[in-house]
Structure 1
Amino acid sequence: MERELRREVFKKALKKLLFLLLLVTALVLITSIPVNFNLDYYDGDFQINTTWQEIRGHMRENLTLLFSGRIFQVPLDNQSLGNLLRVSGLRSFTVFFFGMLLGLLWGVPKGILDRKKAHKKGTFKTLQKILPFSLPEILVVLGIQVLGSYLYRNQLSPIPHAGYSGWLNMIYPILAISVLPGAYMAKITAEAIQEMAKEPYIRVAKGKGCSPYRLFRVHYSRGILLEILGAFPAILVMMFSSLVIIERMFYFPGLTYYLVEFYANSTGNVHQAGIGFTLFIVTLGVFYYILFQGAEFLKSWALPAGDRN
């Protein structure tokens, strides 16, 4: 029995590793196509502004550099791509994780409060539910940036509103990236409590005098966790898209900031910028895949044994 279990775990792990390898290879091949690639239809024939041999050469070069590890030694702007990836990645991942944590810390309690006030109606209550989803994401970020700029310029706050010189510069990006996922988790929490409140065992527990705290700790918490983990892919997409906007608007030099710089060839070296674009895209893809698989593992761990696939 134990041997069969180990074999099953090994098969699943091998499948996930193979999929990750295919994902990395696909990202390298796609991003190896020059950013100025253009396909025209002229005089009854398709024409491109480069050659297929050149594109295949870029693909082979990027694959060789990545899987040999030499891609991290490629020089760019007086430093290596590996060093730039390490520094910018640490900044982006810090903002990402703390933003997710902040969204969870205010989103779940807000969802619980929204459910408690479900019987109350009012314009303000309706607005606070739909406003985060109805406003364009860039407008939310702009509002936080304008507020931060006003406070900093008038010496009402020591927190800088743009650039990066220390950990204080991370505060506004963390606040901005937590808004949409926090609002989404609040919505999920309120809906999960509403659905679970209809279950017979919840009604029986209430009838026996079970306190709201015990109801939440024993019954509601697992259901909320499963719902949030189930929506985790959507939350990740929200946060990754927010990260691109936030890093550009706050001039925060993280992964996606340099990714756009590479795509626009703002570094001055087209060839090395293309290699950097490939490396940073692969890093973000691997990061997303690891987070997604981590959420799936937590979800399967939280489920009762009989409900697991």
Structure 2
Amino acid sequence: MIQFIAKRFAYAVLTLLIVTTLTFILVRVIPGNPIERMTEELPQEQRQQVFEQYGFDQSIPMQYKQFWKDVIVDQDLGESLSYRGRGVTDTIISYAPISARLGVQAIFIGVTLGVILGVIAAINRGNWPDYFVMFIAILGISIPSFVVASVLQYFFAIRWGVLPTTGWGGFEYTILPSIALCFHPLARYARYMRANSLDVLHQDYILTAQAKGASRFRIIRKHVIRNAILPIVTLLGPQLAMIFGGSFVIERIFSIPGLGAYFVTSVIDRDYTMVMGQTIFIASLYIFSLVIVDILYAIIDPRIQVSNDS
């Protein structure tokens, strides 16, 4: 198991290095330089000083070398080019918890309701609960999150006035954004859980448990959910990382100062340092979440054996 984990982490570090390198090259070969736009009205001597300050007077290989020196040795992701005086690390530390709070709430709601609805649909296959859950799943997959957000704002904030429309504050400000974010994942979790629960319900060990007199609730809790939830774990790992980069639309609609909006703005503004810093942050979460998923597989399902060749 230790060797398996070590290999997975080694692959994760290598993948992160490749992703970071490709991003570094791509953002610099795209036409347009933010430094030139910032310094176009300055005298040539001052422009040169700004280029030297940010290292853009050097070749791309030298910039790449300096980038990793700053990250590894100085543990510094640099200063934003668009927001002068604001460090990339400080921006991530300040705004990532906001996106994380929304994302964690959305994932918790989505996973909990998705698993419950999927199991209900499976044990009532062909009856109205099954059709109702599948109808919800089709709606969740078909309707974009920004449409769900707009509908929620209209009814709960504008028409009924029970929740705030936009802004950020206490728990009440997170309810509508979390529901809008969880609607699509909930539908996916329900569909996967239904399909896998149906497969598990036809396994021999379920018949054996029934023959031994185990209650229906015990069979579902001990056998069906535990064996059918593995695909949900697979979806859950990447979902945890994508809450930072994939929620920018919802954050814009509800005027939430999260990290997603900064990521989109930095790409549009060619803010190299902000793009690189957030790429490292989000890619690290995404890649290492896959490692955690692999480890959880062996914990959740003892039938999965870890070999030396894994």
Please state which band the TM-score falls in when normalised by the shorter chain.
Answer: 0.7 to 0.9
Q: Percent identity?
A: 19
Q: Which amino acid aligns with 1:200?
A: D
Residue from 129, 133, 136 that aligns with 1:128: 136
- State the partner residue of 2:274: 276
Q: Structure 2 stretches of 5 or more lacking a match?
A: 33-55
* Separation of aligned partners in 2, 1:183 and 1:25: 34
- State the partner residue of 1:94: 101
Query: Do the aligned residues in 1 keep the contact of 2:78 with 2:87 (CA within 8 Å)?
Result: yes
Query: Do the aligned residues in 2 keep the contact of 1:111 with 1:190 (CA within 8 Å)?
Result: yes
What is the CA distance between 1:307 and its match in structure 2?
4.0
* Separation of aligned partners in 2, 1:201 and 1:172: 42
Scaled by the length of structure 2, what TM-score is found? Answer: 0.77
- State the partner residue of 2:205: 201
Which is worse superposed, 99-108 or 25-34?
Answer: 25-34
* Separation of aligned partners in 2, 1:52 and 1:72: 19
Scaled by the length of structure 1, what TM-score is found? Answer: 0.77
What is the CA distance between 1:164 and its match in structure 2?
2.8
- State the partner residue of 1:60: 65
* SS of equivalent to 1:79: coil
- State the partner residue of 1:42: none
Q: Which amino acid aligns with 2:102?
A: V
Query: Do the aligned residues in 2 keep the contact of 1:189 with 1:224 (CA within 8 Å)?
Result: yes
Q: Structure 1 stretches of 5 or more lacking a match?
A: 1-7, 40-50
* Separation of aligned partners in 2, 1:14 and 1:129: 38
- State the partner residue of 1:25: 17
What is the CA distance between 1:298 and its match in structure 2?
1.2
* Separation of aligned partners in 2, 1:170 and 1:21: 34
What is the CA distance between 1:165 and its match in structure 2?
3.9
Query: Do the aligned residues in 1 keep the contact of 2:133 with 2:190 (CA within 8 Å)?
Result: no
Which is worse superposed, 146-155 or 109-118?
Answer: 146-155
What is the CA distance between 1:123 and its match in structure 2?
7.1
* Separation of aligned partners in 2, 1:302 and 1:78: 47
What is the CA distance between 1:124 and its match in structure 2?
5.5
Q: 1:303 to 1:70 in 2, by over 3 A?
A: closer
Instruction: Give yes or no for the alignment of 1:147 onto 2:152.
Output: yes
In the comparison of the two structures, how many residue pairs are matched?
280
* Separation of aligned partners in 2, 1:201 and 1:70: 53
Query: Do the aligned residues in 2 keep the contact of 1:27 with 1:278 (CA within 8 Å)?
Result: no
What is the CA distance between 1:264 and its match in structure 2?
1.4
Q: Which amino acid aligns with 1:220?
A: V
Structure 1 ranges of 4+ moved more than 6 A = none
Query: Do the aligned residues in 1 keep the contact of 2:76 with 2:89 (CA within 8 Å)?
Result: yes
- State the partner residue of 1:215: 219
Q: Which amino acid aligns with 2:60?
A: I
Instruction: Give yes or no for the alignment of 1:37 onto 2:37.
Output: no
What is the CA distance between 1:246 and its match in structure 2?
2.3
Q: Which amino acid aligns with 1:191?
A: A
Residue by residue, what CA displacement relative to the aligned partner does 1:147-196 show, whole Å, maximum 9, x if unpaired?
22553345622x33334344433322221221122111111221122111
**Alpha carbon RMSD of aligned pairs, Å?**
3.2
Q: Which amino acid aligns with 1:252?
A: I
* Separation of aligned partners in 2, 1:214 and 1:199: 16
Residue by residue, what CA displacement relative to the aligned partner does 1:77-120 show, whole Å, maximum 9, x if unpaired?
44322221111111122222221111111111111221233122
- State the partner residue of 1:16: 8
* Separation of aligned partners in 2, 1:200 and 1:179: 34
Which is worse superposed, 169-178 or 126-135?
Answer: 126-135
Query: Do the aligned residues in 2 keep the contact of 1:81 with 1:276 (CA within 8 Å)?
Result: yes
Instruction: Give yes or no for the alignment of 1:111 onto 2:153.
Output: no
Residue by residue, what CA displacement relative to the aligned partner does 1:180-237 show, whole Å, maximum 9, x if unpaired?
2211111122112211121223123324432111111221122023232244456568
Query: Do the aligned residues in 2 keep the contact of 1:32 with 1:58 (CA within 8 Å)?
Result: no
Query: Do the aligned residues in 2 keep the contact of 1:181 with 1:239 (CA within 8 Å)?
Result: no
